[in-house]
Chain A
Amino acid sequence: MKKAFEYFIERAIFISGAATIIFVVLIFIFLLKEGLALFASESIRSFLFGRNWYPISDPPQFGILPLILGSLWVTVGAVVIAVPLGLAAAIYVAEVAPSWLRGILKFAIELLAAIPSIVLGFIGVVFMSPVLKYIFNLPSGLTALAGSIMLAFMALPTIVSIIEDALVAVPKSYKEGSLALGATRWQTIYRVMLPAAASGILAAVMLGIGRVIGETMAVLMVTGNAAILPASILQPVRTLTATIAAEMGEAVAGSSHYYSLFAIGIILFIISFIINLTADMLLHRK
């Protein structure tokens, strides 16, 4: 009786575990099936490197270079903002803050992760974009920078908690040894703790990027969605994700526009896959 129960539980857990893998594979097969259909009428080259995104024109043009660059600008901007901030915050939480404050800070950081992206997008439209327009004297504040700032907020919790974990995981003897040799607290953090936690920090950055590149709603609301080849972060951009979100509703099922949106999905899938794989390898490198 007990044995049968044990067996049943084991099987149930196995099925749950296998289910995630099956779902990922099914999603990928579905994406491939719908996305690759585009390349019956369109070359991969003109898809990846075409400069014009006019999916509903006659004849349509499916160049996603502006969209790739748009995603890139927004992501790079977000990383530049979020990584130094996140690193500093993590060092403070892990090494400097008194223990009563540490609890509050960790809770607040988790709370930041709980804000729905659409709320951040709304704040971006109503508050951030007019401020940016005023500061940089722009024609409009709906720019890649507005998206970067919003996404930096979204990536911060991920980055802070993983770096903090990495710092806490550094063996205590390293720190004690350094302090015993007469190094100051800052020297210890800078010269000993950070290098020791380097792979965790890099993983945090990668996972932060993963969070940013897949984000859709906030970006759709604040970046202006103009499919231009952006020359600066102060220009409007159209990202890969926003394009899918904005156009999927209109695309006639079975048209090349519809397939092209799935093809963009494949590109996004590949990008996140590479990012997550890198992060995973960094985290488990010993």
Chain B
Amino acid sequence: MLKNIILTSMILFLGLVIVGCGGGGRAVQIKGSDTMVNLGQAWVEEFMKENPEIPIAVTGGGSGTGIAALLSGTTDIAQASRNIEPKEVELANKKGIHPKEFHVANDGITVVVHPNNTINKLTIKQLSDIYTGQIKNWKELGGPDKKIVALSRERNSGTHVFFLEHVVKLGDKKNKNEFAPGILMMPSSQAIIEEVSANPSALGYVGLGYCTKMQKILAVAKNERSPYVIPSVSTVTRGTYPISRSLLFYTNGEPGEKVKSFIDFVLSPEGQKIVLKMDFVPIK
């Protein structure tokens, strides 16, 4: 009974919101990864220039938020900077939703420090040791005698999950490594960028698109024997940069006509040109 009242009022409320915003047709909803918000926005702007009859709204919140919204049927496309987890697929199937994946762009996770930092390169093992709290001072890496202020994204971020699996856990899912409790959890990529630009002992990681001249980008190597690589469009495309990832769209089964025309645009050479312009890496 209670559930029904809550449900009804929610539906009524949603109805109001949709009627209020949509005018005529319902807007296509895109939701998810904060890393991809600006990219999604750029695609939509360009797409709507040619197709003004299809209104599209883009919101962030994190990859998990997007996938959760797809599962609850409140978004048409979930943007994700990590793959959907088996647990989530299971939950989706239970609700009669069948997530379909589209690989729309690539991204290199960029490790940044303050421009005055003397360190230029790190291995993934060293990064893992820093984020698990075993290396605490820049001195241990050949830098100045200063405590390392390691910054991470919050747990609602696909970047956090990717970094945890591929760097902290060294790419081994069974690995027991965790972010040390003392790691600062920042609410956004922008917050990491701000702290790194202002703090000479800070170390952080963000998507390639977020870096500016106010931070120094470190070269990263898979292990001591492999070459140190600076993340860039070409190194990510060629797959030589060791911590790169796919940026994805998820839809519920085969997308409808409107959504499909948008995804086709995203995957077209024109859409991929926008990827490059937004400092991410095209799929081809």
Name A residues whose Cβ lies closer than 8 Å to a Cβ of B: 29, 52-57, 66, 125-126, 129-130, 133, 139-142, 220-221, 224-229, 236, 238, 246-255
> Quick one: given A139-B146, A249-B156, are A228 and B182 in contact (CB under 8 Å)?
yes
Contacts of A130 in B (CB 8 A): 198-199
Instruction: Name the residue on B nearest A140 (C-beta).
Output: B149
Number of interface residues of B (CB under 8 A): 36
> Quick one: given A139-B146, A250-B62, A252-B68, are A226 and B183 in contact (CB under 8 Å)?
yes
Judge whether B62 and A224 touch: CB under 8 Å.
no
> Quick one: given A228-B182, A236-B182, are A249 and B199 in contact (CB under 8 Å)?
no
Q: Is B26 part of the binding interface, using a Cβ–Cβ cutoff of 8 Å?
A: no
Q: Is B155 part of the binding interface, using a Cβ–Cβ cutoff of 8 Å?
A: yes
Q: Is B49 part of the binding interface, using a Cβ–Cβ cutoff of 8 Å?
A: no
Neighbour of B184 across the interface among A55, A57, A142, A248, CB < 8 A: A142
In this complex, the member of B91, B181, B199 whose beta carbon has the largest number of chain A beta carbons within 10 angstroms is B181
Contacts of B186 in A (CB 8 A): 225
**Total contacts A-B at CB 8 Å:** 89
Judge whether A252 and B91 touch: CB under 8 Å.
yes
Contacts of B87 in A (CB 8 A): 252, 255
> Quick one: given A246-B156, A252-B68, are A54 and B187 in contact (CB under 8 Å)?
no
Contacts of A141 in B (CB 8 A): 199
Contacts of A227 in B (CB 8 A): 181, 185
Neighbour of B187 across the interface among A57, A126, A220, A236, CB < 8 A: A220
> Quick one: given A140-B199, A238-B185, are A252 and B64 in contact (CB under 8 Å)?
yes
Instruction: Please report the C-alpha to C-alpha distance between residue A8 and residue B261 in the assembled complex, in whole angstroms.
Output: 55
Name B residues whose Cβ lies closer than 8 Å to a Cβ of A: 2, 61-65, 68, 71-72, 87-88, 91, 146-149, 154-157, 161, 178, 181-187, 191, 194-195, 198-199, 201-202
Neighbour of A221 across the interface among B181, B183, B191, CB < 8 A: B191
Instruction: Name the residue on B nearest A258 (C-beta).
Output: B68
Neighbour of A226 across the interface among B63, B64, B148, B185, CB < 8 A: B185
Instruction: Please report the C-alpha to C-alpha distance between residue A35 and residue B82 in the assembled complex, in whole angstroms.
Output: 28
Judge whether B195 and A142 touch: CB under 8 Å.
yes
Instruction: Name the residue on A nearest B85 (C-beta).
Output: A252
Instruction: Please report the C-alpha to C-alpha distance between residue A57 and residue B178 in the assembled complex, in whole angstroms.
Output: 8
Instruction: Please report the C-alpha to C-alpha distance between residue A207 and residue B185 in the assembled complex, in whole angstroms.
Output: 29
Given contacts A224-B185, A249-B62, A250-B64, 9 further A-B contacts (CB under 8 A): A125-B194, A130-B198, A139-B148, A140-B201, A226-B182, A228-B181, A250-B156, A250-B157, A252-B64
In this complex, the member of B63, B91, B184 whose beta carbon has the largest number of chain A beta carbons within 10 angstroms is B184
Judge whether B184 and A249 touch: CB under 8 Å.
no
Contacts of B178 in A (CB 8 A): 54, 57
Neighbour of A247 across the interface among B156, B182, B183, B191, CB < 8 A: B156
Contacts of A238 in B (CB 8 A): 185
Judge whether B154 and A247 touch: CB under 8 Å.
yes
Neighbour of A249 across the interface among B65, B72, B185, B202, CB < 8 A: B65
Judge whether A225 and B185 touch: CB under 8 Å.
yes
> Quick one: given A139-B147, A140-B199, A142-B195, are A253 and B72 in contact (CB under 8 Å)?
yes
Instruction: Please report the C-alpha to C-alpha distance between residue A252 and residue B194 in the assembled complex, in whole angstroms.
Output: 30
Instruction: Please report the C-alpha to C-alpha distance between residue A250 and residue B71 in the assembled complex, in whole angstroms.
Output: 13
Judge whether A221 and B187 touch: CB under 8 Å.
yes
A-B contact pairs, 11 of them (CB 8 A): A56-B155, A139-B147, A140-B199, A221-B191, A225-B154, A225-B186, A227-B185, A236-B184, A246-B187, A250-B62, A250-B65
